[in-house]
Amino acid sequence: QSVLTQPPSVSAAPGQKVTISCSGTSSNIGNNYVSWYHQLPGTAPKLLIYDNNKRPSGIPDRFSGSKSGTSATLGITGLQTGDEADYYCGTWDSSLSVVVFGGGTKLTVL
């Protein structure tokens, strides 16, 4: 399966802002919507962003998404200790006809 590339880890202090990148190709991110999820240990992923930049109801506006070309970015402002989790990007790959996910980024709030 095609792989979306994310940094293994990011960190920032409480109250600060962090961004997580997700790099793909024209067959996935370049021509399809991107979604973002966070996952606490031992729990199911939870949707944060869909269609590149839309937030489901209940997700605070501290979370934002953007896409440019074959890369997408998740932004989190006003970091809280409760934001510590693994974050995954996902999208459809038109060439492989599969949903592909990034390898995940572990966010540490120092």
107 contacts another protein (rule: CB under 8 A): no
Report the distance separating Cα 9 and Cα 30, nearest Å.
Answer: 24
Name the segment binding another protein (CB under 8 A); options: 7-15, 16-24, 68-76, 94-102.
94-102
Applying CB under 8 A, which of residues 72, 104, 107, 109 lies at the interface with another protein?
Answer: 104
2 contacts another protein (rule: CB under 8 A): no
What are 33's two structure tokens?
């919507």
Residues 47/65, Cβ–Cβ less than 8 Å: no
63 contacts another protein (rule: CB under 8 A): no
Name the segment binding another protein (CB under 8 A); options: 14-22, 27-35, 67-75, 77-85.
27-35
Residues 63/56, Cβ–Cβ less than 8 Å: no
- DSSP per residue over 46-65, as a string? EEEEBTTTB--TT--TTEEE
105 contacts another protein (rule: CB under 8 A): no
Residues 67/5, Cβ–Cβ less than 8 Å: no
Question: What residue ranges bind another protein (CB under 8 A)?
Answer: 1, 32-33, 35, 37, 43-47, 50-51, 56, 88, 90-92, 96-104
